Structure 1
């Protein structure tokens, strides 16, 4: 299992544009920052992505 989901992968999984996927990832990363985690721009941890988008599996 991959550790991170990129914006391109999120766009494909969710069926949205690449730009909107970046907006979603930015929001998820802001949530993680508020919880005290360090984040990587343009990527979100796979486990967190799957928790937030129930029923969406990566890979």
Structure 2
């Protein structure tokens, strides 16, 4: 099971463009940095992403 989502994962999950996916990752990673966590460029912690983006209905599972 993945601990981090990549830009491709975010694109699939949210159905957004690559530019928007990168913007989302940067925003979430900035929040994590402000909370004192280290981050990886171009990847976002799965738990942080899932806690900020709530889904209704069936969700595409990324493996």
CA RMSD of aligned residues (A): 1.4
Structure 2 residue runs without a partner (length 5+): none
Q: Residues 32, 57 of structure 1: CA spacing in aligned structure 2 closer, same or farther, 3 A cutoff?
A: farther
Write the distance in 2 (CA, Å) between the matches of 1:12 and 1:57: 7
- Tell me what 2:2 maps to: 2
TM-score (norm. length: structure 2): 0.84
**Under a length normalisation based on structure 1, what TM-score does the superposition of the two structures give?**
0.90
Contact 2:7 2:18 (8 Å CA) reproduced? yes
Q: Which runs of 4+ in 1 moved over 3 A?
A: none
Which protein has the larger Cα radius of gyration, Structure 1 or Structure 2?
Answer: 2
* Greater CA drift, 26-35 or 46-55: 46-55
